[in-house]
């Protein structure tokens, strides 16, 4: 709606996990490097925790794009709040295009595990790495599901794991996993995403504007300082507030977003 007015090709602050917009802050860069290391070095399992809205799902999407389908087979599970059998089924479905048996008796965990083992071995034979990413893993309530994931990690050859498991979730995932000692011991690499600092908040805003087609800033330095204070440096909140500012500024036909306009937009910001 306001894109043309601000000379933008597209909306810069959409709250969607679009890897094109990824701003490589040092912590996002570090996390991405560690996740790729976990996969490429065959470390078995890794865990990325992070404050809500700080980019875990986006980083997962960016990772998926980086890995590419030629060398990697990836199951990206975004809703793990299901029974352990359903989760296994979702993993198999993600990794395999062919349809699954639907007869109730065939839905039991064992045939699914057999199915998975076969997929892992086939991928290995084809020279492909298998990766299972569980997003929102903090929302898993049923310990049986974590146990199932741990058992999956026992699918190993003498010298290597058959797949890499990556768990993503909010900070409470750390405690959940800490209570499951056997799973915890298998997590080789950990990383964490926190809120952005003030400097990164500014760079983040400029980066998203640039990707959307605007090389110079629309926000004054003072406005950016206030955005940081209002949002606590949480990208999802920054997006929301910046979007409101662009809309309010368009409504008022201002040339830039300054402190005054920001305060006005912030009134509508929860």
Ligand X SMILES: Nc1ncnc2c1ncn2[C@@H]1O[C@H](COP(=O)(O)OP(=O)(O)OP(=O)(O)O)[C@@H](O)[C@H]1O
Give me the residues that bind ligand X (CB under 6 A), please: 15-17, 21-23, 25, 28, 50, 52-58, 170, 235-236, 239
Residue (67 or 119) nearer to ligand X, CB: 67
Contact between 57 and Mg ion per CB under 5 A: yes
* Shortest separation between residue 15's beta carbon and ligand X, angstroms: 4
52 binds, among ligand X, Mg ion, none (CB under 5 to 8 A by kind): ligand X
Nearest CA among 251, 252, 238, 229 for reference residue 209? 238
Stretch that binds Mg ion, among 48-56, 68-76, 93-101, 199-207 (CB under 5 A): 48-56
Of 214 and 236, nearer to ligand X (C-beta) is 236
Chain position whose Cβ is nearest to ligand X:
55
Check binding of 239 to Mg ion (CB under 5 A).
Answer: no
Q: Between 62 and 92, whose beta carbon lies closer to ligand X?
A: 62
Minimal distance in Å, beta carbon 236 to ligand X?
4
Q: Which of Mg ion, ligand X, none has residue 231 at its interface (CB below 5 to 8 Å by kind)?
A: none
Instruction: Kindly state the tokens that stand for 138.
Output: 């903090």
Select from ligand X, Mg ion, none the partner in contact with residue 239, using the beta carbon and a kind-dependent cut-off of 5 to 8 Å.
ligand X
Q: How far apart are CA 200 and CA 177, in angstroms?
A: 30
- Stretch in the footprint of Mg ion (CB under 5 A) among 53-61, 84-92, 101-109, 240-248: 53-61
* Binding partner of 46, given ligand X, Mg ion, none, CB within 5-8 angstroms per partner class: none
| Nearer to Mg ion (CB atom), residue 42 or residue 171 | 171
In this structure, what are the phi and psi dihedrals at residue 174, rounded to the nearest 5 degrees? -55, -45
Nearer to ligand X, 28 or 176 (CB): 28
Q: Which one, 55 or 249, has the nearer CB to ligand X?
A: 55
Binding positions for Mg ion, rule: CB under 5 A = 56-57
């Amino acid at each position: 709606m306001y894109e043309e007015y601000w000379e933008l090709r597209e909306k810069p602050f959409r709250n969607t996990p679009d890897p094109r917009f990824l701003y490589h802050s040092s912590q996002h860069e570090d996390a991405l490097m560690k996740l790729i290391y976990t996969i490429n070095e065959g470390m078995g399992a890794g865990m990325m925790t992070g404050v809500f809205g700080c980019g875990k799902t986006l980083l997962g999407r960016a990772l998926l794009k980086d890995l590419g389908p030629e060398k990697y087979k990836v199951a990206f599970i975004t809703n793990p709040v299901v029974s352990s059998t359903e989760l296994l089924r979702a993993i198999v479905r993600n990794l395999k295009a062919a349809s699954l048996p639907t007869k109730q008796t065939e839905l039991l965990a064992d045939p699914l595990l057999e199915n998975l083992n076969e997929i892992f071995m086939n991928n290995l034979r084809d020279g492909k790495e298998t990766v299972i990413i569980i997003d929102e893993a903090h929302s898993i309530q049923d310990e049986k599901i974590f146990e199932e994931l741990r058992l999956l990690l026992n699918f190993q050859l003498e010298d290597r794991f058959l797949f890499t498991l990556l768990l993503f979730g909010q900070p409470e995932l750390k405690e959940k996993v800490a209570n499951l000692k056997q799973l915890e011991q298998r997590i080789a690499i950990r990383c964490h995403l926190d809120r952005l600092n003030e400097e990164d908040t500014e760079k983040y805003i400029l980066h998203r504007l640039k990707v959307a087609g605007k090389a110079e800033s629309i926000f004054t330095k003072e406005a950016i300082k206030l955005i940081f204070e209002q949002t606590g440096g949480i990208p999802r909140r920054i997006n929301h507030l910046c979007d409101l500012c662009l809309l309010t500024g368009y409504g008022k036909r201002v040339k830039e977003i300054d402190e005054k306009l920001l305060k006005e937009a912030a009134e509508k910001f929860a």
